Structure 1
Amino acid sequence: MSSENSPVRSAILTYTGLVLTPLFWAGNAVVARGTVDSIPPLSMAFWRWMIALAILLPFALPGIWRHRAVIRQHLGSMLVLAALSVGAFNSLLYLAAVTTTATNIALINATIPIFVSLLAWMLLGDRTRPVQVLGIGMAIFGILAVVARGDLSVLTSLEAQPGDLIMVAAVLSWGLFSVLLRRQAVPLPGFTFLSTQILLGTLVILPFYLGDLLFFSGGFEVTRGTALPIAFFAIFPGILAYGFWNYAVHRIGPSRAAIFIYLTPVFASVLAGIFLEESLGLFHMVGGAFILAGLLLATRAGRQAT
């Protein structure tokens, strides 16, 4: 009986995890936006990964030690990958939250597959079909609509919110990480690779965090109101989202799993409306529609080409 139910349980876990993952990613943007006045962005990034590392390391150390020769051999590549993903992506996302909305963060974040396709074409020479080019163009138009907030003069006068531009840099960082990950594949088990990346990425953030602590922000006071968000960042969009995502990709493949990324701005807009009283503007809906249509065109064409 249990053997018959195991595929069903596996499917339930897979698709439940794929719904929870964008919910946690949306929560990451909303909680960051809501607490950025009390927790400096670099403190958010450093302590998020420090706590995640403290939870994972006791389980990861045997694998890290067992594969130490591989890690040593690929240390340079892994350091670059860790700097782009663990180091830069969330640090930039939290910096973006200072001057833009959680909804904008989530909408721009949803374009990661577009930037991966664009950078793969530019850096790896991946074949790009005309439909994919159209999809990429539509998604970029959607980003510009969100960044401009529906006012073309914002773009022509370079008056866009700094947070929107920082979030574009964050997405570019993750796209570059994804492309380099393909080109510089490291032969490590998934859990060992993830744990090593978090370890290296935390070390990358450390000097920036210390500089910010000493010369700029001065850190933050540890209270219930600051400790709970940090714990949330570490456990939910950190450990659980990565775990659910990796499990789902293993079970159903990256193309089918990637469709669920499109739920992130939907969840973010609802959560931001409830907890931050952010309202949706016409530019959000127009930009979001172009982003979604572009993503569907580009990723569907990419799957048909492979």
Structure 2
Amino acid sequence: MGVSFALMWSSAFTSAKIAVQYAPPFALLCVRFLISGLIALALARFLGQRLRLTRAQWLAVVGFGLCQNVIYLGANFWAAQTIDASLAVIVASLLPLLVAGANALRGERLSAVALAGLVVGLVGVLVIMSDRLGGGADPTGVAMVVIGVLALTAATLLVQGASPGGNVIAVVGLQMLVGSAGLLPLSLLTEDLIVDLQWQLIVAFTYTTLVPGLLATVTWFLLVNRIGPTRAATFHFLNPFLGVAIAALILGEALGLRDLIGVAVIMGGILAVQLSRRN
């Protein structure tokens, strides 16, 4: 389940890069979440799941939908217009390090190994970002994916409150509809609805809607419920390698030696942080 999630999640950056070449990013996401959300709610109803949520759970679902779907994915889809998919996935791979740091600020004690992992992982990202920015990467696009991963950190901290009991698919559908509603005004205010309906857009949109959008999100909720957020986040260790490999394979994005060194360093930092927190 964890490896499948990592593979689906890492592939999202490549499919997003393809899709935004043919349609505006916020409008794409708005339609994607509307379709995914309605499918999830229909499936949940078929399975007998009902949305009986407390006030706190409703707030968690709305907060998760806004942080992950509107801010994180909105920022990444917008940035995909100007930066490589491999750079976006590398920045997004900061997630488990940022979650560990946020938990430390909330009072969780980190071991020396975990602290070293945090530092090493951040150094790896800085190595790659300095090289890419020096090579002409769009600073605004980089800033957007950084904002996005900070929002995803907040969403991850909310995920337990947003996934009550056996109603996982219903909750996933609801938070996707929250994302669609949040992205609609952004699209109407900032974008011209010009769509170049090519087969590449159809394939990329269908894939990103059903696989990273629906299946990966359901898998993540189930994984967190099954093994907890700390152990589940361990599988993000695979995202830098998988994301860079998929982008290189499908998009032909060039990788330099510093990129490969940075990815290895980030993976080592993530692994150190997560292994230090296992029981």
- Greater displacement, 258-267 / 231-240: 258-267
Normalised by the length of structure 2, the TM-score is 0.86
Q: Distance in 1 between matches of 2:56 and 2:241?
A: 42
2:236 to 243, 248, 261: 261
What are the Cα deviations for residues 128-180 of structure 1, in whole angstroms up to 9, with x where unaligned?
Answer: 223222211111111111111177xx5xxx98632222111111101112224
Deviation at 1:110, TM superposition (A): 1.6
Verify the 8 A CA contact 1:85 1:173 in the aligned structure 2: yes
Verify the 8 A CA contact 2:248 2:254 in the aligned structure 1: yes
Q: Distance in 1 between matches of 2:28 and 2:139?
A: 21
Residue equivalent to 2:31? 47
1:231 equivalent to 2:213? Answer no
1:270 equivalent to 2:245? Answer yes
Change (3 A) 1:74 1:277: closer
Change (3 A) 1:181 1:256: closer
Q: Which amino acid aligns with 2:242?
A: F
Verify the 8 A CA contact 2:37 2:177 in the aligned structure 1: yes
When the two structures are aligned, how many residues end up with a matched partner?
Answer: 278
Change (3 A) 1:71 1:253: closer
**Percent identity among equivalent residues?**
25
Hey, which bits of structure 1, 4+ residues long, moved more than 6 A?
62-65
Deviation at 1:202, TM superposition (A): 1.6
2:62 match: secondary structure: helix
Verify the 8 A CA contact 2:93 2:237 in the aligned structure 1: yes
Verify the 8 A CA contact 1:131 1:301 in the aligned structure 2: yes
1:207 equivalent to 2:185? Answer yes
Q: How do 1:130-209 and structure 2 match up within 5 A? A: 130-149=112-131, 154=134, 161-181=139-159, 187=164, 189-209=167-187
Change (3 A) 1:147 1:192: same
Q: Which amino acid aligns with 1:99?
A: T
Verify the 8 A CA contact 2:44 2:170 in the aligned structure 1: yes
2:277 match: secondary structure: helix
Q: Distance in 2 between matches of 1:90 and 1:33?
A: 12
Over alpha carbons, which structure has the higher Rg? 1
Verify the 8 A CA contact 1:142 1:288 in the aligned structure 2: yes
Q: Which amino acid aligns with 2:151?
A: S
Residue equivalent to 2:80? 97
Change (3 A) 1:231 1:159: closer
2:265 to 282, 290, 298: 290
Which has the larger share of helix? 1
Q: Distance in 2 between matches of 1:49 and 1:185?
A: 17
What are the Cα deviations for residues 186-237 of structure 1, in whole angstroms up to 9, with x where unaligned?
Answer: 745322322221122221112112223xxx3324144433222211111010
Q: Which amino acid aligns with 1:135?
A: G
Residue equivalent to 1:3? none
What are the Cα deviations for residues 33-60 of structure 1, in whole angstroms up to 9, with x where unaligned?
Answer: 2332212211222122112123122223
Q: Which amino acid aligns with 1:245?
A: W
Change (3 A) 1:164 1:226: same
Q: Distance in 2 between matches of 1:169 and 1:131?
A: 27
1:129 to 91, 95, 111: 111
Q: Which amino acid aligns with 1:33?
A: K
1:238 match: secondary structure: helix
